Amino acid sequence: MTHEPFTRRLFLERSLALASLAATVPCFIERSAMGMLGNPLLSSNPGVPDERILVVIQLGGGNDGLNTVIPYGADEYYRARPQLGVRGPGAAPQNGQQAALELANAQGIGLHPNLTGLRELYDRGALSVVQGVGYPNPNRSHFTSMDIWQTGRLDAKGSGWIGRYFDNTCNGTPIPEGAVAIGRAAPLAMQGDIQKPIAFENPSLFRWMGEDLHGAMKDPYDAINRAGAVGGAAPGSQREFLMRTALDAQIASERIRAAVARDPLVQYPQSGLARQLQTIGAMIRAEMPTRVYYASMGGFDTHAGQAGPHANLMRQLGDAVLAFQRDLEAQRNDARVATMVFSEFGRRVRQNASGGTDHGTAAPVFLVGPALRGGVVGNHPSLTDLDQGDLKYGIDFRSVYAALLEDWMKAPSEKILRGKFAKPVLFEGSAAKTGA
């Protein structure tokens, strides 16, 4: 797939032309003409059903990794968390907490008791627990640390790492198409210099506005012409571009709404994350040409009274991810999809005086899918060798990205990440590579 150079002049010309089509283009184009112009989902090229898909789930607020992947074999954990510490498998409940879930072949660590959904996937070999993920000189600001994760750069500047994946793979080579975020706005991670994602919070809002004004008109070209926006279009002209783009937009919006209107093959729980994953599952089932999906859930900034709220978040996460995986299995699409779950940082080792935890550093990353090797990757961070009370990271988050890009998406990670990073062995058949 090739793209003509996208210059400021071209953007201004097309933006002015799009303004004249305000009544006939979908609402997401009104909000961002450039997003539509650069969006691969709106291409006329058909999707390729057997292409691999990446789903990213962001846990906003800084998830407490120590109470997610629990080091119950370390006495230091309980000394640092006399009220928040979760007891090991088989122990009696304490402070309202059930015992941690044991992980096979993982000595001394377990999952939060409410992550039964993730433990089921782990037992099936479809979950990798990547421990101690972080980066040098960690930043404890929510916004800066999230920007670091999303840009894949320690200076937190520039485009997003997923956006650069599309930018690089779009440059004159055949690639899969499309990036979709479920939410009010697409995250920085998906913003490329060329490619722009689309985002919608509710599929009903991703719609062709011309239907409201021209509902009786079945032919979108006829609708555009009758609106007086464009006349006959010569091949390769700006008018032809606008007509084709508007038609692609209508088709995309109709396909998405038709996809999510179908009942899912499995029952999803009633939570915000589950609804997002249900929408993504529906789009995958409908063979949308989307290559990367992005979902998120918040509430992880647990400075006070952490135990109950965090336990609820763990249940929502585990149950939603399990339902999504079961849906993919029922569709027979599970082999096409890998899911990554991350947060911008973990929490401090020691609980605070308010029964919560403050901003920390390294934390686990979860990867889900049958193509993964499964099990625990890396060593749990030391609870005695700390950096000013915080965990020291063991695996650079960009190494995880490198493995996803090279071993799953089959893309050149060094160019996208602007550096070479050691790859943990995450996928069956992949081999570890070391880098500077």
DSSP secondary structure letter of residue 263: P
Q: Which residue has the higher pLDDT, 118 or 40?
A: 118
pLDDT over threshold 60, residue 260:
yes
How confident is residue 258, by pLDDT bands cut at 50, 70 and 90?
confident
Place of tokens 């799953």: 408
CA distances to 65, 110, 247, 276 from 366, in Å: 11, 13, 39, 18
Alpha carbon 123 to chain centroid, angstroms: 23
Residue 19 lies in a domain: no
Tokens of 296: 């998120």
pLDDT number for residue 92: 84
- Give the CATH number for residue 97: 3.40.720
* Helices 307-331 & 116-123 angle (0-180, nearest 10): 40
Could you tell me the residue range of the domain that residue 109 belongs to? 33-202+232-417
Residue 3 lies in a domain: no
Q: β-strand 375-377 against 127-134: which pairing, if any?
A: parallel
Which of the residue ranges 43-47, 254-258, 410-414 would you say has the lowest mean pLDDT?
43-47
Q: Which residues share a beta bridge with 390? A: 387
* Helices 272-285 & 238-261 angle (0-180, nearest 10): 120
pLDDT number for residue 334: 96
pLDDT over threshold 80, residue 19:
no
Residue 207 lies in a domain: no
DSSP secondary structure letter of residue 93: P
How large a percentage of the chain has pLDDT more than 70? 74
* Ramachandran category for residue 211: left, alpha or beta (phi over 0 → left; psi -120 to 50 → alpha): alpha
C-alpha span between 291 and 41 (Å, rounded): 9
Residue 425 lies in a domain: no
pLDDT over threshold 70, residue 243:
no
pLDDT number for residue 199: 85
For the chain, how many residues are written? 436
Residue 281 lies in a domain: yes
Residue 21 lies in a domain: no
How many domains is the chain built from? 1
Residue 59 lies in a domain: yes
How confident is residue 202, by pLDDT bands cut at 50, 70 and 90?
confident
How confident is residue 160, by pLDDT bands cut at 50, 70 and 90?
very high
Tens-place pLDDT, residues 55-106? 999 999 999 999 999 999 999 999 999 999 999 998 887 777 789 999 999 9
pLDDT over threshold 90, residue 366:
yes
